Structure 1
Amino acid sequence: MTATVITIAQQKGGAGKTTLAAQLAVHWAGSQKKVAVLDIDPQASLTAWHMVRRRTLADQDAGGIHLSTVAGWRLGTELDRLRQDFDVVIVDSPPHAETDAKAAIRAADLVLVPVQPSPMDLWAIGPTLDVARKEKRPFLIVLNRMPPRGTLPEQVIAKLAEDNLPIAKASLGNRQVFASSMMDGRGVTEVGSRTTAAAELRALADEARAYAQSVSKK
């Protein structure tokens, strides 16, 4: 078994990295994948969510999602170990391009870069993309918290397209259930499998894995 390693990275804080990591982990665990999440963000939000999930489910295994918090010089060794034991490894990286974030990007089969429809998010992706390019790692922009209408999202998408950046076809809407489901350590595919939010998440998860597999063959 060799896992697909997906690192979620974005220099700007509050872009939705942890929410994306947790939601993808829940979906893939529910799809019978062996899933590990690696929290290297000093804020440890993913770790906190995992602890709540264990309590909610009364399950030390957190519903089939393994948590690791190894960072620093042990990060590379831990990722090598997780690759051998799981189908998918999701890394939640710090909101800045420091050493651990660079190492997580270097080890990734795919880097997901969440971008909200705002100029600040758009301007903040440069350092992350620079690291991915330097390490020759494929990346995919994920449009996150998208409103149902408005000119700003269109402007952001146009700018990303103008720069010829790879954008996921699937996007996540600005839906309260993404955050509210995490209050109980769950994900949208568990609390509302027929909701629009769950459909968006499933579409993104399928696209991300397919993209990772396609670029690995090149």
Structure 2
Amino acid sequence: MIVALLNQKGGVGKTTLALHLAGQWARQGQRITLIDADPQGSSLDWSQLRSREGLPRLFGVVGLARDTLHRETPELARDADHIVIDGPPRVAGLMRSALLAADLVLIPVQPSPFDGWASAEILALIREARIYRPEMLVRFVLNRCGTRTVLARETARTLADHDPPVLTRTIGQRIAFAAAAQSGRLVFEHDDAGPATREIAEVTAEIDGLEVGRSSR
């Protein structure tokens, strides 16, 4: 499965979520390659920090921030159970290429009306990509979310009837993500029993349960 995390709005936690999905699958014994398709190279920076800290390699990270991504990804996918694409910001050519490569597109959003408005452009690109990839699955994922706040509940309720729909499981606003990232770690290495670790595992399990490649929704 090739999973692309895309949103043209910055600051929604796209890279953090991409790294943790890759890490959770790797933790379960699967072969994972993460493609850093963001010219800023945040995932590559994380991987290099991890190496400097002397931590074991969990999965490969490859820089591929170019609009030939969809043609180069199948070769990488031959040696992996999952490919995770940490998508680009507002670069239309790169975004289109990532969409053409993906079996599943995850759109991380925070519980804010501004994030909803910012998603309009990526949704237009998704409609365009589905002409060529009608089987591509798309889901919103609520990230950096205070689950007990009114705004979070309202956002989840709004997206519940949306097309594309939202994942049931959410990721909270957790200090653990920043604390782990400072040393090139993931949250399960920082606090294996913490809520951030549990939420990542729940989101990953929900993704595993999707009929990727067998639905055109």
**Counterpart check, 1:82 vs 2:76:** yes
**Counterpart check, 1:14 vs 2:11:** yes
Q: Which one-letter code corresponds to 1:195 in the other structure? A: G
The answer to whether the Cα contact below 8 Å between 2:176 and 2:187 also exists between their aligned partners in 1 is: yes
**Deviations 1:130-185 (CA, angstroms, capped at 9, x unpaired):** 22232222111100111142211122223223434311111001111012111111
Higher helix share: 1
RMSD: 1.6
Count of residues paired in the alignment: 210
Alignment equivalent of 2:21, drawn from 2, 24, 29 = 24
What TM-score does the superposition give when structure 2 sets the normalisation length?
Answer: 0.90
**Deviations 1:44-98 (CA, angstroms, capped at 9, x unpaired):** 1111011111222344xx23x1111123254233201111011111101112251
Q: CA deviation at 1:204?
A: 0.3
Q: Which one-letter code corresponds to 2:113 in the other structure? A: P
Q: Which one-letter code corresponds to 2:24 in the other structure? A: H
Distance in 1 between residues matched to 2:162 and 2:69, nearest whole Å: 32
The answer to whether the Cα contact below 8 Å between 1:171 and 1:200 also exists between their aligned partners in 2 is: yes
Q: CA deviation at 1:210?
A: 2.1
**Residue segments in structure 1 that go unaligned for 5+ positions in a row:** none
**Residue segments in structure 2 that go unaligned for 5+ positions in a row:** 131-135
Q: Which one-letter code corresponds to 1:55 in the other structure? A: R
2:159 is matched with: 160
**Counterpart check, 1:144 vs 2:143:** yes
Distance in 2 between residues matched to 1:53 and 1:69, nearest whole Å: 16
Q: Which one-letter code corresponds to 2:76 in the other structure? A: L
Point out 4+ residue stretches in structure 1 off by more than 6 angstroms: none
**Counterpart check, 1:210 vs 2:209:** yes
**Counterpart check, 1:49 vs 2:46:** yes
Q: Which one-letter code corresponds to 2:204 in the other structure? A: A
Secondary structure in 2 aligned to 1:168?
coil
Secondary structure in 2 aligned to 1:67?
strand
Change in CA separation of 1:209 and 1:97 when aligned onto 2, cut-off 3 Å: farther
1:94 is matched with: 88
The answer to whether the Cα contact below 8 Å between 1:143 and 1:172 also exists between their aligned partners in 2 is: yes
Change in CA separation of 1:36 and 1:159 when aligned onto 2, cut-off 3 Å: same
The answer to whether the Cα contact below 8 Å between 1:26 and 1:186 also exists between their aligned partners in 2 is: no
**Counterpart check, 1:197 vs 2:191:** no
What TM-score does the superposition give when structure 1 sets the normalisation length?
Answer: 0.90
